[in-house]
């Protein structure tokens, strides 16, 4: 089973939303995948996603309430097949953390684009639009391989 990890800064907005959206979309497409999310920093470890992101996701039918923030580990970079960073800064942090024996493929979630952090922009719906777009692209790609 392919394992996919979504990573943002604190694991309270973008990456838990990406985990939930992608899990929903991949299940609907009949794909058997394992998903998780993490943050590059540990400021929010153990906390639920940010309230406004939970509310925005719930309006679209995604339940983030059971998720809890965690920090990405060296073991993640060996255990997961694909690790998607929400922005270039997250990607650089992951590349710096990855051990020589790390086997995970590190990628920017939207290819060349980034998902702006709604913690700062306050635009949770725009972030979810991009996350849904990325999930649909990823499901389509994985469904043909």
Catalytic center residues? 8, 14, 117
Q: Are 16 and 53 in contact (CB under 8 A)?
A: yes
- Other CB atoms within a 10 A radius of the CB of residue 57 amount to 24
- In the beta sheet, which residues pair with residue 28? none
* DSSP per-residue codes, 65-109: TT----B--TTHHHH-SEEEESSHHHHHHHHHH--TT--PEEEET
Distance CA 42, CA 45 (A): 5
């Amino acid at each position: 089973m392919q394992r996919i990890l979504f990573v943002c800064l604190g694991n309270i907005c973008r990456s838990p939303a990406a985990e939930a959206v992608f899990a929903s979309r991949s299940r609907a497409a009949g794909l058997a995948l394992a998903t998780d999310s993490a943050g590059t920093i540990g400021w929010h470890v153990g906390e639920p996603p940010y309230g406004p992101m939970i509310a925005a996701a719930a309006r679209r039918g995604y339940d983030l309430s059971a998720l809890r923030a965690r920090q990405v580990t060296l073991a993640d970079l060996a255990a997961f097949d694909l690790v998607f960073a929400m922005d270039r800064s997250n990607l650089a942090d992951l590349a710096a953390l990855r051990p020589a024996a790390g086997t995970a493929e590190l990628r920017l979630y939207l290819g060349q684009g980034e998902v702006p952090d709604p913690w700062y922009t306050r635009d949770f719906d725009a972030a979810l639009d991009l996350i849904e777009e990325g999930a649909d692209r990823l499901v389509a790609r994985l469904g043909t391989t």
